Amino acid sequence: MKPAKIYDVRAGNPDYHNLLSPDKTFIFWNESALSDVTPGEIVFFVNRGEKEALYTVATPVTCTAVRNKLTMLKEFDYENGTYAGTEGDEFRQYEVQQVANIPSGWKWQKPLRQVAIANLWSEEGDNTGRLERISDLQALFIDGPAFDALEGYNMHVEAIKMPVNQTSVQMKLISPVKRKEGLKQPQNRIPVKPTVIPFEHPYRKLLMALRTKPFVLLGGISGSGKSWTVRKLAYMTCSDPVLRTGNSPGNFEMIRVRPDWHEPDDLLGYAITHNGILRYHSTNLLRFLVKAWQYPDVPFFLCLDEMNLAQTEHYFSDFLSVLETVRVHEGKRIYDPFINAQELAHYSYEDHTFWRQLGLSEDNVLQQHFLENGISMPANLFVVGTVNMDETTRTISTRVLDRTMTIEVKMKSLQEKLVEETEKWKYPPTYEVAEWLMAPPLDRFVAFQNHPHIGMLISKHLERLYFILEDTKFALGYRMLHQTLVYCFLHYEGTKADLPADWLYTCLDEVIAMKILVRIAGDTDTCHLLLERLLPEMAHFPVCQQKYNVCSRFLKMLVILLTGSKCIYYLLNMSTLVW
């Protein structure tokens, strides 16, 4: 039987997009990675990060690549296109016969560990892992040539020895694999459509911001519905029925910030010695964080209410630092631990109530995970802080604003509020939003390679803003560019079907308001000149232009009232008037 293989494309591998043709009719791959593949051999490329699988056949076509000294990629030209890989000198072409979407929740029954390649056919006796992987692929390719090919390989192989003329001869008994009783046949299965967030979705901006950065600030006057909004998202995404038993969704926790908080211990807990015994004082936040680890497929929402009642940098600095350690591994965000493994082993050994405090007294698997890796922020946790804008609260520093997305929650008109129905706090019949939030993080590099025209438009608009702000204390770093690309590409790749014509300007308008305008603070002279320079760049951005107009009127009023003196003000603290 003809050889066949699986190639598991690991998360974050840019070669997949750089070597796949725009129309997905063929893909090139590094010969050294698939060294023993010959023309005519079948290879299934499975990319869980992009939720896509390809059924391909190797062709005789190979191309020699040369390293580009600018990009450091190995590049070659083929049919008026340029293709590139991170490594390799020779690249073989594979003709794509069929493409399948990978639904959320799909995973290998027998994962491919360090090696990304596995054979679909073995004549060395039955291979349980091989048959399980064939079954996994048939769950993706439910019909067509790929399914037919997989059926051909779905054979039980048994090696036996038979005596023939006093000689032991190795024989192979091959028989079809029996399907389990009650298992639905492939033709009855319905392909799962990828979840999208419509552009007119009432929580689109917040959802996109959370996928861009899992730490968002909601600003507005007291009573405008900031914490209400976070609770609403928790109801919309509480997909596990076990978490839907109480008066509030189990994936929601509100931590009310106190004005006397001065240390990170107020959030994450601390160790104390009592009667010569070391004990760890856990907090509601730490327990909720551990609970999120127990339900990895459900989005969890931590609402830090009234964050600016206390000085944010004093109690939130450790949490903020850990948020900045984020990286992507196997399609999920991972972070450095809040409590490292060594400290955890010490606490759990000294304090026999430690695991019980965290609700893990009977969860030996998660205990062991924490003892090996420490307690870190889970990939399914989203942090939303609420910020009240009045004279009793403190200013949010630029350090915090740089590391979050800030959204203003506006009050509805009184007429709208009068006719609005009372919120019934019901769970939805389906949980598409939860599925969308738990999708792998978008790779901005891959998205830019796929849609360079959009990336260049974004870059063009941001370059002018970078230039205006570069010699000021509000200069922008790379973080702003990266988050803008992700925010815009999430819209393009996730809501492409119903995007309005001016969608890109709308997204840029929102990002500039969330990331740039909220940072501008200072005296009247400094801000007035800077805002005058920014005005021409607001022509396509109505939200930013409106904020500019309000601020400009406010500045003129200050100049009239306080002529000859400096007036220090902070735009974030006055967002109800300004931003």
Which pTM was predicted? Answer: 0.63
DSSP code for 566: -
β-bridge mates for residue 7, sequence order: 45, 117
- What's the CA gap between 579 and 577, in Å, rounded? 7
| Per-residue pLDDT tens digits of the chain, which is 579 residues long | 677 899 998 876 788 888 999 889 999 999 988 888 888 899 999 998 888 999 999 999 999 999 988 888 899 999 888 999 988 899 999 999 999 999 888 888 877 766 788 888 765 544 667 888 888 898 899 888 888 888 878 765 554 444 444 444 443 444 444 444 333 333 333 334 456 788 889 999 999 999 999 999 999 888 888 999 999 999 999 999 999 987 889 999 999 999 999 888 889 999 888 778 888 889 999 999 999 999 999 999 999 999 999 999 889 999 999 999 999 888 889 999 999 999 999 999 888 889 999 999 889 999 999 999 999 999 999 999 999 876 656 888 888 888 999 998 887 655 565 556 667 788 998 899 999 999 989 888 888 888 888 889 898 888 888 888 888 888 888 888 899 999 999 998 866 557 888 899 899 999 988 988 887 766 666 677 777 787 777 767 776 766 666 565 555 554 444 444 444 343 434 433 334
pLDDT (0 to 100) of residue 218: 94
Task: Please return the burial class of 11, using the count of CB atoms within 10 Å of its CB with bins 0-12, 13-18 and 19+.
Answer: middle
Which residues, including other chains, have CB under 8 Å from residue 110's CB and lie 6 or more apart?
128, 129, 132, 133
Domain with 292 in it: 196-430
| Rounded distance between C-alpha atoms, residue 7 and residue 41, angstroms | 13
- Spell out where 71-192 has E strands: 74-78, 81-85, 90-101, 117-119, 155-164, 167-176
CA pair distance 287, 560, nearest whole angstrom? 53
CATH number at residue 334: 3.40.50.300
Q: Is the domain of 125 the same as that of 208? A: no
3-state helix, strand, coil split of the chain in percent (to 5) is 40, 25, 40
Residue 80 inside a domain? The answer is yes
In the DSSP assignment, the letter for residue 54 is E
Residue ending a domain, among 143, 161, 188, is 188
- Looking up tokens 């996109």 gives 208
Closest CA to 373 of 415, 401, 345: 345
Q: Say if residue 181 is in the same domain as residue 207.
A: no
124 belongs to a structural domain: yes
Domain count for the chain: 3
Query: Is there a single domain that holds both residue 342 and residue 247?
Result: yes
Please indicate, yes or no, if residue 437 is contained in any of the structural domains: no
Q: Which long-range contacts (CB under 8 A, 24 or more apart) does 186-193 make?
A: 186/138, 186/142, 186/143, 186/147, 187/142, 187/143, 189/139, 189/142, 191/100, 191/101, 191/103, 191/142, 192/101, 192/103, 192/104, 193/101
Do 252 and 215 have their domain in common?
A: yes
Beta carbons of 112 and 103 less than 8 angstroms apart = no
Same domain flag for 364 and 217? yes
Residue with tokens 């001016």: 502
Both tokens of residue 320? 């903020």
d(CA 83, CA 235): 45
C-alpha atoms less than 13 angstroms from C-alpha of 99 in its C-beta half-sphere: 14
Does 407 lie in the same domain as 463? no
Q: Could you tell me if 481 and 417 lie in one domain?
A: no
Residue 526 burial (CB count, 10 A): 15
Query: How far from 65 is each of 16, 57, 77, 82, 216, CA to CA, in Å?
Result: 16, 21, 8, 10, 44
269 SS3 class: coil
Q: Which of 403, 430, 457 is the last residue of a domain?
A: 430
335 DSSP β-pair partners: none
Give which of 406, 399, 535 is closest to 465, Cα–Cα. 535
List, in sequence order, every residue forming a beta bridge with 334; answer none if it has no partner. 327
Beta-bridged to residue 75, according to DSSP, are: 66, 84
pLDDT value for 277: 81
Asked if residue 492 belongs to a domain, the reply is yes
Q: Based on the domain organization, do 181 and 287 belong to the same domain?
A: no
Q: Identify the pLDDT of residue 447.
A: 85
DSSP 3: -
Residues 6+ positions from 205 with CB-CB distance below 8 Å: 407, 510
In this structure, are 68 and 205 located in the same domain?
Answer: no
Residue 436 counted as domain residue: no
Burial 324-344 (b: 16+ CB within 10 A, else e): eebebeebbbebebbbeeeeb
What letter represents residue 149's amino acid? A
Whether 435 is in a domain gets the answer no
240 lies in the same domain as 169 = no
Instruction: Cite the beta strand spans of 125-194 per DSSP E.
Output: 155-164, 167-176
Domain end residue (candidates: 150, 171, 188): 188
C-alpha pair distances (Å), 30 with each of 91, 108, 446, 457: 5, 24, 18, 32
Tell whether 174 and 206 lie within a shared domain: no
415 and 456 in a single domain? The answer is no
